[in-house]
Structure 1
Amino acid sequence: MALKRTSLPRTAEAVALAELRDAIVRGDLAPGTQIRQTAAAQELGLSVIPVREALKTLAGEGIVTYVPQRGYTVTELTPRSVDGIFRIRELLESEAEANAAARLRPEDIAAMRAAVDAQRAATAAADVPAVIAANRGFHFALLARCDNDWLLRFVTQLWEALEPHRALSYRRAAVAGDSARAEAILTEHDGIVTAFEDGAAARALRLLAGHRTQGRADFHRLLGATEPTG
Structure 2
Amino acid sequence: MALKRTSLPRTAEAVALAELRDAIVRGDLPPGAPIRQSAAAEELGLSVIPVREALKTLAGEGIVTYVPQRGYTVTELSPQSVDGIFRIRELLEGEAEANAAARMRPEDIAAMRTALEAQRAAVAGVDVPGTISANRIFHFALLDRCDNEWMLRFIRQLWEALEPHRALAYRRAAAAGDAVRAEAILGEHEGIVAAFEQGDFPLALRLLAEHRTGGRADFHRLLVVDAAPV
For Structure 1 versus Structure 2, the TM-score category normalised by the shorter chain is over 0.9
Residue 17 (structure 2) aligns with: 17
User: Superposed, which structure 2 residues align to 1:81-160 within 5 Å?
Assistant: 81-160=81-160
When the two structures are superposed, what TM-score results if normalisation uses the length of structure 2? 0.93
SS of the aligned residue for 1:224 comes to: helix
Residue 165 (structure 2) aligns with: 165
Q: Residue type matched to 1:24 in 2?
A: I
- Select between 83-92 and 13-22 the one with higher mean Cα deviation: 13-22
SS of the aligned residue for 1:126 comes to: coil
Residue 192 (structure 1) aligns with: 192
Report Cα offsets for 1:140-196 as digits up to 9, x if no partner.
Answer: 111111111111110000000000000000000000000000000000000000000
CA distance in 1, matches of 2:74, 2:149: 27
When the two structures are superposed, what TM-score results if normalisation uses the length of structure 1? 0.93
CA distance in 2, matches of 1:153, 1:29: 24
Residue 4 (structure 1) aligns with: none
CA distance in 1, matches of 2:50, 2:76: 24
SS of the aligned residue for 1:103 comes to: coil
Q: Residue type matched to 1:132 in 2?
A: I
CA distance in 2, matches of 1:99, 1:197: 17
CA distance in 2, matches of 1:91, 1:73: 29
Report Cα offsets for 1:55-108 as digits up to 9, x if no partner.
Answer: 111111110001111100000111000000000000111111111111110011
Q: Residue type matched to 1:110 in 2?
A: A
Structure ID, larger Rg: 2
Question: What's the offset of the Cα at 1:8?
Answer: 6.3
SS of the aligned residue for 1:210 comes to: helix
CA distance in 2, matches of 1:47, 1:173: 37
SS of the aligned residue for 2:29 comes to: coil
Q: Residue type matched to 2:88 in 1?
A: I
Question: What's the offset of the Cα at 1:30?
Answer: 0.7
Question: What's the offset of the Cα at 1:46?
Answer: 1.1
CA distance in 2, matches of 1:58, 1:217: 26
Say if 2:178 is the partner of 1:178: yes
- Select between 183-192 and 23-32 the one with higher mean Cα deviation: 23-32
CA RMSD in angstroms, aligned pairs only? 1.2
Report Cα offsets for 1:103-159 as digits up to 9, x if no partner.
Answer: 110011001011111111111111111111111110011111111111111000000
- Which consecutive residues of structure 1, in runs of 5 or more, have no partner in the other structure? 1-6, 226-230
